[in-house]
Amino acid sequence: MEKNNKTTGKVVGIVANLVTVAVDGPVAQNEICFIAHNDERLMAEVIKVVGVNAYVQVFESTRGLRIGSTVAFETHMLEVTLGPGILSRNYDGLQNDLDKMDGVFLTRGEYTDPLNREVKWGFKPLAKAGDVVTAGSWLGEVMENSIPHKIMVPFKMDKRYTVKSVTAEGEYTVDETMAVVVDDEGLEIPLTMVQKWPVKMAVRAYKNKPRPFKLLETGVRCIDTLNPITEGGTGFIPGPFGTGKTVLQHAISKQAEADVVIIAACGERANEVVEIFTEFPELDDPRTGRKLIERTTIIANTSNMPVAAREASVYTAMSLGEYYRAMGLKVLLMADSTSRWAQALREMSNRLEELPGPDAFPMDLSAVISNFYSRAGFVYLSNDASGSITFIGTVSPAGGNLKEPVTESTRKAARCFYGLSQDRADSKRYPAIDPIDSYSKYLEYPEVQESLKKSAGEGWLDAVIQTKDILLRGKEAMEQINILGDDSVPIGFHDRFWKSELIDFVILQQDAFDDIDASTPMERQKHMLSSVLKVADTEFKYKGFEEVSVFFKEVINIYKQMNYSEFNSEEFKKHESNLDSLLKGRMN
């Protein structure tokens, strides 16, 4: 299709936000079009083409839209605009800058520029005349807050080019020419700081994509200690409503070892999104000492926004993540909640009258989720720098049923499973990650095991297995005690149960509101786990089962005081000394 000869059409059918358009020329799958309605232009995306009819999903409310409205097709797919100024922004799923919009409610048909075209950026050239470059090659950089933002050859340019000139160091707007490159036919192409990319296409601007192998520290003990995720890995957090999915994501966002954080609120309730908008600008970044929002971008599509925009939001977030990964940065992408993204897919599938799968979700739901998760990962760039996207999504299964289609499909795609337990949440054991049902498949990788040895030392994997075994044996002992009664089981059952409780209270539970306990470095995690396992391996003497709980409650109390103390401080060592005395007294 030629840009100066765009296809047009007329609306011939409307079902909610699914509109049927009779077209007068060729259209492509996922092509963007605008429907004229009074003085408004409503953006839509082609999702199916049958003969001369194109079925489009409208990203706005279709209230008042009438048969016969004219439609203009744009010859391109839904795209993100990439350039300096994305960080610290609040976007919707179409990358409209929400801060530029007027009024309390979003105005239908209003679209805003995601970038500030007037601000000047301090440009520093990295390439020089004569360099051979390809898509994603670095031409220069500007400082975006505290992040070195690379100006790259656009991802759409799929040939090899020779740099003719690069603009001198100085301050420029995003639309000024930063470099001129020449293709093999001698055509000169001016490049600015801005480029566009289709959100539903993965960016391939890297040399190779190995299996993730570097551990990503999140500061959350029940993740790092028992079921670690890797840099460039994938994980998901399923759990019933009220079990702490959003809070856990916020904790990981704040503490994880990442350069850039992207939060996709793809269908959350409005009050939860408001909390993100109000809390994140106030949060201090423990990594940089600045505000966390300075390296964060928020994509917000609440559950009462149009279903099509909700579906687009996750792809917009992933495309932004791929952009920053191509700069050699570590990106952490959090999606909350992918269940509502899947529900958006279900609504559109139903309106298209497609053959439904389980629970009326699309038949290809598993493939769609797998394709999306596969866009995350660790990559080596053409200049041998590395970048990564670590993706963690939440799933809100109806009624807490972890066997429903979205959870099951996500389980096949993600390598880490952090299942939240309603029982743990009800008993205020946060994070409410079930230590027995949860898992990390990365522990099976030899390269990850080597990474564990380097960061945590020899024998760490054995310690993790031992910890899970103690928790499982403690659960079995608790069931026996509950069935038979405290005085009807041997003292060994009480000892086994309380040793599992020791691990639970000291290692698994964490206070997100305490400055020290909120984030635990790997060195401290190693020290504390080693100490707790030493206690679990020790045989103690009791006169009766009543002494077991009294003793271990004292031990747990001292350990919790250690968790609230600076590592290896005088106070920490004092608590450690008191613990040694208490343990020796029970061994004699």
What residues form DSSP beta bridges with 10? 22, 70
Q: Where are the alpha helices (DSSP H) in 417-459?
A: 422-426, 446-456
- Residue 465's contacts (CB-CB under 8 Å, 6 or more residues apart) are none
Angle between helices 405-413 and 338-351 (to 10 degrees): 120
Element (H, E) at 252: helix 245-255
3-class DSSP assignment, residue 424: helix
| Rounded (10°) angle between helices 545-563 and 522-536 | 170
Q: What is the pLDDT of residue 284?
A: 80
Q: CA 559, 570, 538: angle at the middle one, nearest 5?
A: 35
Q: How far apart are CA 544 and CA 551, in angstroms?
A: 11
Report the alpha-carbon distance of residue 317 to residue 312 in Å, rounded.
9
What pLDDT shows up at residue 288? 77
* Max Cα–Cα distance, the chain, nearest Å: 91
Pairing relation of β-strands 416-417 and 439-440?
A: antiparallel
Q: d(Cα 294, Cα 292) in Å, to the nearest integer?
A: 5
Alpha helices in 329-428 (DSSP H): 338-351, 365-373, 405-413, 422-426
pTM of the model: 0.94
Nearest one of 103, 138, 114 to 124, comparing CA atoms: 138
DSSP symbols for 478-521: HHHHHHH-GGGS-HHHHHHHHHHHHHIIIII---TTSTTTT---
Distances (CA, A) of 485 to 33, 402, 472, 476, 499: 69, 32, 19, 14, 18
Estimate to the nearest angstrom the gap between the alpha carbon of 453 and the chain centroid: 27
Q: How far apart are CA 35 and CA 43, in angstroms?
A: 7
Residue type, 522: M
Asked if 509 and 429 count as a contact pair (C-beta separation under 8 A), the reply is yes
Nearest-5° angle of CA 120, CA 122, CA 127? 125
- Classify strands 260-266 and 330-335 as parallel, antiparallel or unpaired: parallel
Q: What is the pLDDT along the chain (588 residues), one digit of tens a residue?
A: 344 578 999 999 999 899 999 999 999 999 999 999 988 999 999 999 999 999 999 998 899 999 999 999 999 999 999 999 999 999 988 999 988 887 666 778 888 999 999 999 999 999 999 999 999 999 999 999 989 999 999 999 999 999 999 999 999 999 999 999 999 999 999 999 999 999 999 999 999 999 999 999 999 999 999 999 999 999 999 999 889 888 898 889 889 999 999 999 887 666 667 777 777 777 788 777 888 899 999 998 876 677 777 788 999 999 999 999 999 999 999 998 899 899 989 988 998 889 999 999 999 999 999 999 999 999 999 999 999 999 999 999 988 888 999 999 999 999 999 999 999 999 999 999 999 999 999 999 999 999 888 888 888 999 999 999 999 999 999 999 999 999 999 999 999 999 999 999 999 999 988 999 999 999 999 999 999 999 999 999 999 999 999 999 999 999 999 999 999 999 999 999 999 999 998 885
Dihedral of alpha carbons 59, 63, 67, 68, sign = negative
CA–CA separation, 107 and 313 (whole Å): 18
Cα separation of 559 and 133, whole Å? 56
CB-count burial class (<10 Å; 0-12, 13-18, 19+) for 278: exposed
Which amino acid is residue 78, in one-letter code?
L
Alpha-carbon distance of 438 to 432, in angstroms, equals 11
* Per-residue pLDDT at 303: 66
Q: If you search the block for the tokens 């004229």, which residue do you land on?
A: 36
pLDDT at position 285:
80
Region 121-193: CATH code: 2.40.50.100
Give the DSSP letter of residue 540. -
250 three-class SS? helix
In sequence order, the 6+-apart residues with CB closer than 8 A to the CB of 244 are 420, 425, 430, 431, 432
Per residue in 491-528, pLDDT (tens digit) is 999 999 999 999 999 999 999 889 999 999 999 999 99
* Residue 92 to residue 302: CA distance in whole angstroms: 9
Q: In the structure, how many helices (H) and strands (E) does the chain have?
A: 14, 25
Q: Looking at residue 1, what is its pLDDT?
A: 36
Per-residue tokens: 555: 């031990």
User: CB of 178 within 8 A of CB of 165?
Assistant: no
CATH code of domain 221-446: 3.40.50.300
User: Any idea where the domains of the chain sit in the sequence?
Assistant: 8-77, 121-193, 221-446, 460-587
What's the topology of domain 460-587? 1.10.1140
Q: What is the rounded (10 degree) CA torsion for 115, 112, 389, 324?
A: -10
DSSP string, 81-126: EESTT-TT-EE-TT--BGGG--SSSPPTT----SS-SS--EEEEE-
Fold of 8-77: Thrombin, subunit H (2.40.10)
Contact 95, 317 (CB under 8 A): no
CA nearest 249: which of 361, 140, 167, 335?
335
Give the residue among 333, 362, 337, 357 at the shortest CA–CA distance from 347.
362
Give the separation between CA 575 and CA 563, rounded to whole angstroms.
Answer: 10
CA end-to-end distance (rounded Å), the chain: 87
Phi, psi of 245 (to 5 degrees): -65, -50
Looking at residue 401, its pLDDT comes to 87
Same fold, 8-77 and 221-446: no
Positive/negative CA dihedral, 253, 254, 259, 263:
positive
Q: What's the 3-state SS for 213-238?
A: CCECCCCCHHHHHHCCCECCCEEEEE
